[in-house]
Amino acid sequence: MPVEPTTDFETLSAYVDGELDAATAAALASRIAADSNLARQVAEIHGLKAAVSGLGHGETPRALPARPRRPRPALRHLAAAAAVVLTLGIAAVGGQFWRDAAPSQERVLLEAILAEHDGWRLSINEESALRPAVAPGQQLLADAGLVQIHGSFGLELAGVTASHRGYAGPRGCRLSVFELSAPLDPAALEAVAEGDGAPLVHAWQAGGAGFVAVARNMDPLRFDALSAALEAASARGDRVEIAAIEIPRTPCIA
């Protein structure tokens, strides 16, 4: 029986940085997806790392003198006032730092969704899972070279009931589509996924449900076309012919 990975700060930080081996990352991702507290911790770590990486990009700090002179008596009150202002300024910046690092509900939900996606994609074999028969109603993605190989229902992701369908194609193509029981703010959810190295995320609502499509190593144009087709299909309540939407055939990065 595999050993459950620890969930201390160092391990979660290594997970965020992509430093864990595939098996450990998959096991930990499954735990994060099932535990909203862990998802929140991961979101906080992401926020802290983003805030820290943003420090020092302003003006270059001046070098402090090696031996600061003692202020003249006439200037001591001014120096004391300046010290108070500096202290208040540091406190304000620090407060803003922690506010920026505090995760929103959208961030926590997205972390849980990504953890579920990663736990699935890291735990499957590359070739053995790519030859199932196309299930009824799945011709939409099959025409684009993707077949459904995974389905989970009744999941709890950050307190939201969800279903997860996983699709796979050649060269590491992995696409997850989540259906959520609760309404969501598509723009807010997509906004927290922006930035260098961010996953591909498209969110929408249809028929009173929320939908989120995610991928990590797919060509962005291909992902956009696929997710747009899925959104159109769910909004109309029927299938859209993939061939008519000209899905780019750019291969995924293995």
Residue 209's domain comprises 128-245
Between residues 142 and 98, the one the model is more confident about: 142
Please give the tally of structural domains in the chain.
1
How does pLDDT run across 58-95, given as a tens digit for each residue?
A: 444 444 444 444 455 454 554 444 444 444 443 444 44
Is the model's pTM score more than 0.85? no
**Can you name the residues that pair with 213 across neighbouring β-strands?**
177, 202
Place 205 in a pLDDT band, splitting at 50, 70 and 90: very high
pLDDT score of 92 = 46
> Does residue 80 lie in a domain region?
no
Mean pLDDT, the chain, rounded, equals 73
Section 111-131 average pLDDT: 78
Check pLDDT > 90 for residue 197.
no
What's the DSSP call for residue 201? E
Within-domain flag for 86? no
* Confidence check: pLDDT of 183 > 60: yes
- Is residue 47, in this structure, part of any structural domain at all? no
Domain-embedded: residue 253: no
Question: How far does the chain reach from its first CA to its final CA, in angstroms?
Answer: 29
Distances (CA, A) of 197 to 108, 117, 191: 18, 16, 14
- 235 located within any domain: yes
Backbone angles phi, psi at 202, to 5 degrees: -135, 125
Indicate the helix (H) or strand (E) that contains 177: strand 174-180
Say if 182 falls within a structural domain. Answer: yes
Q: Buried b / exposed e across 201-230, counting CB within 10 Å, b at 16+?
A: bbbbbbeebbbbbbbbebbeebbbbbbbbb
In the block, tokens 């730092």 appear at: 97
- In a domain? residue 227: yes
Position 186 confidence tier, pLDDT thresholds 50, 70, 90: very high
pLDDT band at 117 (very low <50, low <70, confident <90, very high): very high
pLDDT at 127 over 70: no
197: left (phi over 0), alpha (psi -120 to 50) or beta: left
Of 229, 222, 225, 190, residue with least CA distance to 206: 229
Torsion of CA 139, 214, 153, 142, to 10 degrees: 10
pLDDT at 91: 43
Determine the pLDDT at residue 59: 45
Provide the 10 A C-beta neighbour count for residue 24: 19
Q: Is the pLDDT of residue 3 over 50?
A: yes
Q: What is the pLDDT of residue 217?
A: 84
Nearest CA to 114 among 185, 15, 246, 195? 15
**Lowest-pLDDT range of 40-44, 50-54, 138-142:** 50-54
Q: What is the pLDDT of residue 203?
A: 95
CA distances from 35 to 20, 88, 118, 124, 141 (A): 19, 38, 15, 22, 30
Higher-confidence residue: 47 or 157? 157
Query: So what's the pLDDT on residue 110?
Result: 93
CATH at 149: 3.30.200.100
132 assigned to some structural domain: yes
